[in-house]
Structure 1
Amino acid sequence: MEMKSLSQYGKKAEIPIFFACDEGFVKYTMVSMKSIMENADRSRKYHIYILHMGITEATQAKVLAMADEEFAIDFVDVTDKMRSIADKLPIRDYYSNTTYFRLFIPDMFPQYRKALYIDSDTIVVGNVAELYDHKLGKLYAGVCPDRVVAQTDILGDYVEKVLGVKRARYFNAGVMLMNCSQFRENHLLDEFLEMLHIYLFVVAQDQDYLNLICKNQVLYMEPKWNAQVFGELACPEEEVGLFHFNMAAKPWHYEDCRLAEYFWKYAKMTADYDAIKEGLANYTDEQRRNDSVSGEKLIQLAVSEINREDNYLRKMEKAGKSESKLALLAHIEELEREGRFSEDAEENPPAPVLMPEDINYLPRSLKSKTQTKYAFKVARWFVNMLIKKKQLIIKEYKGIENLEKVADGAVITCNHFNAFDSFAIQLAFEQGKLKKKKMYRVIREGNYTGFPGFYGVLMRHCNTLPLSSNFKTMEKFIAAVDRVLEKNQFVLVYPEQGMWWNYRKPRPLQKGAFTFAARNNKPVLPVFITMEDSDVLDDDGFYVQEYTVHFCEPIYPDPNKKRAQNSCEMRDKNYEAWKAVYEQTYGEKLTYSCDEKQPIKEKKAL
């Protein structure tokens, strides 16, 4: 490690800033450095490190001459580090080995808890101390989304279909506030080296690796701190703190480069200004054509990776998915092909029969109220934990106003696809401005009698109404549902009956929920939850689903029609409402793989 003026200004309030470049790129690094120095808060101390492999002494001397009272400058040779992994690294077009240097920063500089890495093709017009002062906590880095990926469909498809990262969350690694402590503590350099043995990314190279290694562990900073000069800027020009001339279009290669005036303002202040101008004048049309070809190659590589049968995402999905979940999905496909829509996809363990003497559906004793209050408190803690761990992700609630239209109670229907979907409905129900209203849940008999411990507490004391295979108990159940609706409260029913894990289509509905609504002259409020893959993998190797909860228009019984007719018509309207949400959200016509015409009526009640 070559140190020419290390820590010459001490460590008080020192802000470490890292660049990585080779001999040919130093002149542009100097311009970026100059922009930082001209706009920095001079009450702070800074230390600029330039990571390199063999930059000449003469070139180093020009850069070191830029140091002043607030800015220390050092060159650090990383040749030895690179030798150990150089043969494993893919290098493409205008990329070079220097793009990987940033990965060494935390381990090579243990004195720093955090550090700034900045690409050399940048101009910093804001106060770099403001960028550095972002609080990271235990997050791995502060970053900005990559605007090139966000604005280029093919590249957006690439990061989603090859890396499994949503295009809006894929970050540009050209500006990173690195949490060096967390990089070291979590051995992220080792993780990177291990990933090299798993898959070689050839499109954005180390940036792809960083997006995977740091997935869900980054702070998205204000976009002004990485305003990529590509397409539409991420913020108004006057608000930009850092311009990033990434991709092939550089102001020192193209006279008509957009926003080039910011570059030339600081280039004039450097010792290599004449050399930069000469480089612009000598840049040939053939070189510009090569730049264009480079951009086309990038797109071609992205398409090739998307189409690879063994691309990274497919490889990980194939390796990591639970065999039991894959078997469950296959069984669900079989049930759909055979039109067995109301059957449970998973085999339920045997459970005791719920007898009349074992259940008080609407208890009023102080003990029962205390148990319910405790159960809801425990349930709230559990739901908050699921949300924090991203095991339950609710993206959006739509149509809350439809819930507020039925303030005098209703039968709420919802598609059933996950053991936690009732939590999503409860959270959605609480979004409505309904004072002193409760939502009771109709649950399976086995859920009430068969669950011990924690889940048993939730099933027995959180306003649940269990079904039963005993006739006398069912009489009590029906009376309890009627009583709840008479009191202008809400009852949640899953009219599809069985749960089909992560099944996105609406299934044909049983009539029980609609019979209750018709006999009590209450509306039905159809709720349909749509799903999309998050970028969080669960323990089974599948992506946790992000839910959007849709409250549809309430469906009212017609007072001039008989109960049976109302029940059937409300059921059909509910199905059509769900179908409309499905087709609008997913952009496809609802069809089933079974040969029969779409069935929406079945004989079995509830």
Structure 2
Amino acid sequence: MIIGGMKQQVVANIERDAAAGQFNAKVEVADPTLTKPQQQDLLRQYLARRDTLTYRVNNHVSRRVANLATRYFNRRTEIHGLANLQGVTGGAIVTSNHFNPLDNTVVRKTMRAAGRKRLFIVSRDTNLEMGGLIGYLMTYYDTIPISDDKEYAGRVFPQLVEQVLANQQLLLIYPEQEMWFNYRKPRPVKRGAYYYAAKFGVPVVSCFVEIRDLPRVDNAEFDQTRYVMHVLPTIYPDPQLSVRENSRRMMATDYQQKKAAYETAYGKPLTYRAEPDDIAGWRGDQQSLAIGPSKTV
């Protein structure tokens, strides 16, 4: 599903940042922006809202809406490797590639298929400012905002993460950070998700979503796509290692698993050389995906 209008500039931004090795850069062009006071006020509202009856009612409604959306948007989604979730019974951090505002529904479908009915999601604080149905879900669903506000990031956010994991729930963190629309390739990951897994002694549920083109037009720039979820071997912290050592080991293992899954799914080595099929379903100006120097990881 195409969300957010035309993507010509987004595709150009992806090509530019991939060539520069800036794999965690923001490429979307219409995301909300906040001043520091606006950011702090938004976070205060979020924290105050969580303890109200209004929030609890809307949280229940939003989870039902999210489940309906999950079934609708994943009518054609396949799930491979579900057996890798058999040993995950308590709290865990889930990681996946981030390529669509609704790609969390692929993860949610997978976790529900494994018998896990609830999935919390870490999302940028600016997403709380989105409008429409997506904005409603961002506000009232099981979302934990991440922010660069130092007080919130250093004190409040870790407490919220710990609470979710202590309650034996799953928490989805996108280690690529920013969304790159319909980008097929797994990008190098940042350490945050693995730091919290190591700090709180929980496993990492490693996932990679393959995107397959369909011979149906979606809009002026894209054909429709469908998804194949690959659940990869779960990564457990080593009790003999420090938090730092564990986080680095888990991060490296997760990236290599995603890399291997990409290479198996698409039948070619992972490089970050720009190729016309990097953007799934793309029918726009193919010249925007100019071939650049090859880079492998």
Residues 414-429 of structure 1: pairs in structure 2 closer than 5 A? 414-429=96-111
Q: Which residue of 2 aligns with 1:396?
A: 78
Say whether the 8 Å CA contact 1:362–1:480 is kept in structure 2: no
Q: Which residue of 1 aligns with 2:216?
A: 536
1:330 pairs with 2:9: no
Amino acid in the other structure paired with 2:119: M
Residues 385-464 of structure 1: pairs in structure 2 closer than 5 A? 386-387=72-73, 394-434=76-116, 437-448=117-128, 450-464=129-143
**Residue 562 to residue 438, structure 1, CA distance change in 2 (3 Å):** same
CA distance in 2, matches of 1:590, 1:576: 11
**Residue 366 to residue 341, structure 1, CA distance change in 2 (3 Å):** same
Amino acid in the other structure paired with 2:137: L
1:345 pairs with 2:32: no
1:373 pairs with 2:55: no
Which has the higher relative contact order, 1 or 2, with Cα contacts under 8 A spaced 6 or more apart?
A: 2
1:525 pairs with 2:205: yes
Displacement, 1:383? 4.3
3-state SS of paired residue (1:561): coil
CA distance in 1, matches of 2:264, 2:56: 43
Q: Which residue of 1 aligns with 2:276?
A: none
5+ long unaligned stretches in structure 1: 1-322, 600-606
CA distance in 1, matches of 2:48, 2:232: 29
Displacement, 1:408? 1.1
Q: Which residue of 2 aligns with 1:499?
A: 179
Q: In the TM superposition, what whole-angstrom CA distance separates every residue of 1:52-93 from its partner, at most 9, and x where no partner exists?
A: xxxxxxxxxxxxxxxxxxxxxxxxxxxxxxxxxxxxxxxxxx
**Residue 424 to residue 354, structure 1, CA distance change in 2 (3 Å):** farther
Displacement, 1:427? 1.3
CA distance in 1, matches of 2:77, 2:67: 19
Q: In the TM superposition, what whole-angstrom CA distance separates every residue of 1:151-187 from its partner, at most 9, and x where no partner exists?
A: xxxxxxxxxxxxxxxxxxxxxxxxxxxxxxxxxxxxx
CA distance in 2, matches of 1:494, 1:364: 26
Say whether the 8 Å CA contact 2:271–2:294 is kept in structure 1: no
1:549 pairs with 2:229: yes
Say whether the 8 Å CA contact 2:32–2:127 is kept in structure 1: no
Superposition CA RMSD, Å: 2.3
Amino acid in the other structure paired with 1:490: L
TM-score by length of 1: 0.42
Say whether the 8 Å CA contact 2:69–2:105 is kept in structure 1: no
Displacement, 1:452? 2.9
Q: In the TM superposition, what whole-angstrom CA distance separates every residue of 1:172-226 from its partner, at most 9, and x where no partner exists?
A: xxxxxxxxxxxxxxxxxxxxxxxxxxxxxxxxxxxxxxxxxxxxxxxxxxxxxxx
Paired-residue identity, %: 32
5+ long unaligned stretches in structure 2: 274-291
Q: Which residue of 2 aligns with 1:467?
A: 146
CA distance in 2, matches of 1:598, 1:591: 4
Say whether the 8 Å CA contact 2:70–2:109 is kept in structure 1: no
**Residue 492 to residue 542, structure 1, CA distance change in 2 (3 Å):** same
**Residue 393 to residue 331, structure 1, CA distance change in 2 (3 Å):** farther
TM-score by length of 2: 0.84
**Residue 584 to residue 366, structure 1, CA distance change in 2 (3 Å):** same
